[in-house]
Chains A and B, each alone.
Chain A
């Protein structure tokens, strides 16, 4: 979707034309589900993505005209995911069990190994939420350190040290789940 069309749809939404929200759902729902899947697990990804879209429509008046939609939606989605995880942390085992189940989505065309992706989902599910958020924003959404610093409200230098800690934990879990995966990945990319 080009920027001009997107802004036109957003303007229409601000005027209360709910149907103008549909092209935005069509354009970004897949991306939102992917991000939600990495944050809360595939099983609940669509629910959380839908929550984020509903919340975004409800707050559409606060979206600054001219700004792209997806980064704004992404901020809402990340906050929804935080609430979602917090609300289910009362029974943490359930969260992790849910996140580790394969879910009900079908992975479409991908240039990566689906088994590796499944392993990484399971590994991420074992990482504390704050670290998972940091890793997902970096590796899935491609945030820069400056963006992470702003989004997480921490100094840029702290981003690097927290990434180190988060990656150490992820590495330990990956090696526990499948000690060969990092080496295999290395050989494949060599």
Chain B
């Protein structure tokens, strides 16, 4: 709603137009011309004066929330925030380390253990399937973590 939508200068706005503009009037957001035309309308329209009073009261009631001063334990909040920040770095380092170790382990396993003719076939098969299973579980866990991080950011919040 703009001054142009109020109609040509000199014409009175309708109540429907005036009631939208009352919002700007209450909030002190109208231009001088718009405000003057609303004042002119209010002077002759008791219904809109009633609306003005109601929305002013509603504004005061809603504004009471701005005066709230919730008592918060900032020390505890900081501990939790710090924990989350530090935990994030910790997880990253942990996963990087685990990936490096797993890569090295696979290299050693493939290069030495699994091709060593002195190791019984059953043992090589057992260790090979155990390693493969562990890797699959690790990959599945990582995929799930990434998916959940993308789709549900508040899953870990305890309520």
Residue numbers of A with Cβ under 8 A of B are 18, 21-22, 25-26, 29-30, 33-34, 37-38, 42-47, 49-51, 53-54, 57-58, 80, 83-84, 87-88, 98, 105-113, 116-117, 119-121, 124, 135-136, 138-142, 144-145, 157, 160-161, 163-164, 167, 170-171, 174, 181-183, 185-186, 189
Contact = CB atoms under 8 A, between A and B. Distances in A.
A182 B8 CA distance: 35
A47 B153 CA distance: 12
B152 A87 contact: yes
Contact of A121 (B29, B65, B66, B153): B65
Sorted nearest first, the 6 A-B pairs with minimum C-beta distance are A112-B64, A139-B62, A186-B57, A112-B67, A108-B69, A108-B71
A161 B54 contact: no
A21 B69 contact: no
A164 B20 contact: yes
Contacts of B62: 120, 124, 135, 138-140, 170
Contact of B80 (A37, A50, A87, A183): A50
B81 A145 contact: no
A53 B77 CA distance: 10
Interface stretch (B82-90, B94-102, B118-126): B82-90
A87 B2 contact: no
Contact of A51 (B23, B27, B59, B154): B154
A58 B154 CA distance: 16
B159 A44 contact: yes
Nearest to A146: B29
B154 A167 contact: no
Interface string B33-51: 0000000000000000000
Query: Interface residues of A: mostly helix, strand, loop or mixed?
Result: helix
Contact of B69 (A87, A107, A145): A107
B106 to A, nearest CB: 32
B21 A160 contact: yes
Contacts of B154: 47, 51, 83-84, 87-88
A37 B65 CA distance: 9
B108 interface: no
A189 B66 CA distance: 17
B132 interface: no
B81 A25 contact: yes
A160 B152 CA distance: 34
A22 B86 CA distance: 13
B61 A116 contact: yes
B117 interface: no
A120 to B, nearest CB: 6
B70 A30 contact: yes
A135 B67 CA distance: 15
Contacts of B74: 25-26, 29-30
